[in-house]
Amino acid sequence: MKLKHILVAVFTLAFYAAIAQRPAADQLSTSKGNLSIQPVLHGTLVLTWNNQVIYVDPYGGAAGFEGLPAPDMVLITDIHGDHMDVKTLQALDLSKATMVVPQAVADSLAKHIKKEVVVVNNGKTTKQLGIDIKAIPMYNLPETADSRHTKGRGNGYVLTIGGKNIYISGDTEDIEEMRALKNIDVAFVCMNLPYTMDVKQAADAVLAFKPKVVYPYHYRGQGGLADVNSFQQTVNAANKQIEVRLRSWYPQQ
């Protein structure tokens, strides 16, 4: 009985620790109620809208999702372990989740997750749970066969949710497809060397496509955390109309 009480106490502490480490969710007004935007870790976020829950690139273990509802949809951008985290996926309740992924992810997942997936590749669209989803290219520059992210393998996504357009960059540089985006209400933009962009590239891209709100995310690289304050200053020095939201995407940041 004593052991049971200890285990309950440990679980309770872990539960509240996971919740305490998460920043508060932001709210975006849409034509059908608020969209809740919950940063989780690195490139992971949870979107909740119209009683539907979307996990994006769930990573870092199930503890990071304590207190959050099970997903109705899971979006995965790429095959790398900080996006397609098999251990985390296996630990989560995916019983009701539609999984939307590029073909390379579907091929890799098939070895580990016995679940039907919806495959959508660059330039293609799908509609799931009343949400329009368009797959956007994500890749490194210059384009080479041995780059960390080759064109066509992974997806960024634009989700149209209640009349709002949400862009999720995935792992990319400041590619022409990103710079050409239009009417983006909220953007999640990566900046971690040597895998994606540096701060200047990310700021230049954001100034080109002018989202109303931008979250720098996925900003831990080999040299530590990117300077998101410098990103904010660079963007707002050129365009004060773009709201740059800095949130804590890493524990004890």
Q: Given a cut of 80, is residue 4 above it in pLDDT?
A: no
Other CB atoms within 10 Å distance of the CB of residue 97: 20
- Work out the pLDDT band at 253, boundaries 50, 70, 90: low
Residue 159 is assigned to a structural domain of this protein: yes
pLDDT tens for 145-192 read 778 899 999 999 999 999 999 999 999 999 999 999 999 999 999 999
So what's the pLDDT on residue 19?
53
Q: What is the pLDDT of residue 114?
A: 83
pLDDT in tens, 33-91: 999 999 999 999 999 999 999 999 999 999 999 999 999 999 999 999 999 999 999 99
In a domain, 11, yes or no: no
DSSP 8-state assignment for residue 66:
T
* 4 part of a folded domain: no
Looking at residue 5, its amino acid is: H
pLDDT digits (tens, 9 = 90+) for 116-125: 899 999 999 9
Does 84 map to a domain? yes
- Helix or strand (DSSP H, E) at 7: helix 2-21
DSSP 3-state of 122? coil
- pLDDT at position 148 is 85
Looking at every residue in the chain, the average pLDDT score rounds to 91
Residue 128 has pLDDT above 70, yes or no: yes
17 inside domain: no
Classify residue 130: in a domain, yes or no: yes
pLDDT in tens, 218-241: 999 999 999 999 999 999 999 999
Is 77 or 21 the better-scoring residue by pLDDT? 77
pLDDT band at 7 (very low <50, low <70, confident <90, very high): very low
In DSSP terms, 49 is beta-bridged to: 52
Higher pLDDT: 111 or 4? It is 111
166 inside domain: yes
For 33, the 3-state DSSP assignment is strand
The residue among 11 and 22 whose pLDDT is bigger is 22
Give the range among 1-5, 80-84, 141-145 with minimum mean pLDDT. 1-5
Q: 131: domain CATH number? A: 3.60.15.10
Which of these, 167, 165, 160, 196, lies nearest to 82 by C-alpha position? 196
| Contact call for residues 46 and 65 (beta carbons, < 8 A) | yes
* CB contact burial 10-48 (16+ within 10 A = b; e otherwise): eeeeeeeebeebbeebbebebeeeebebbbbbbbbbbbb
What's the structural domain count of the chain? 1
Q: Provide DSSP, 149-214.
A: S-TTTEEEEEEEETTEEEEE--S--S-HHHHT--S-SEEEEE--TTTS--HHHHHHHHHHH--SEE
Position 22 scores a pLDDT of 86
Domain extent at residue 85: 24-244
Would 6 be classed as within a structural domain?
no
Give the helix, strand, coil percentages of the chain, each rounded to 5.
25, 30, 45
